[in-house]
Amino acid sequence: MEISVDRANEVLIAKVEGRIDGANAREFEDALNGAIGEDDSKVLLDFSTLSYISSAGLRVILLIARLLQKRNAAFALCSLSDPIREVFEISGFDKIISIHDSQAEAVDKIGR
């Protein structure tokens, strides 16, 4: 699992590559917390190169979403593969976190 960070229209874009599972979810949590600065008010996770996520990763997403909501920061996900989207839908996470088809669409929605 690797995270690379970019910024566009005041949106912090964290692109996650590889796999998030029970063995590395803690590492994912630490990496995200490290990537999101205190001044970031708009955060987007780009999952276009994420190959796998399970409940251990969902737990981290939920914690980050809550943290950002407390700060009144915007939070969204984009570019989920079909199996990953299914995991979010079964878990009901698509009802509490905004999910976009592409990075451009997401930045347009939550960006400045």
Name the site residues for other proteins (rule: CB under 8 A): 19, 21-23, 52, 54-56, 58-59, 62-63, 65-66, 69, 82-83, 86-87, 90-92, 95-97
SS3 content of the chain, % helix, strand, coil (to 5): 40, 30, 30
- By beta-carbon proximity to other proteins, the closer residue of 8 and 51 is 51
CB of 41 to other proteins, least distance (A): 17
Number of neighbours of residue 56 by Cβ within 10 angstroms: 16
- By beta-carbon proximity to other proteins, the closer residue of 8 and 62 is 62
Label the pairing between strands 74-78 and 98-100.
Answer: parallel
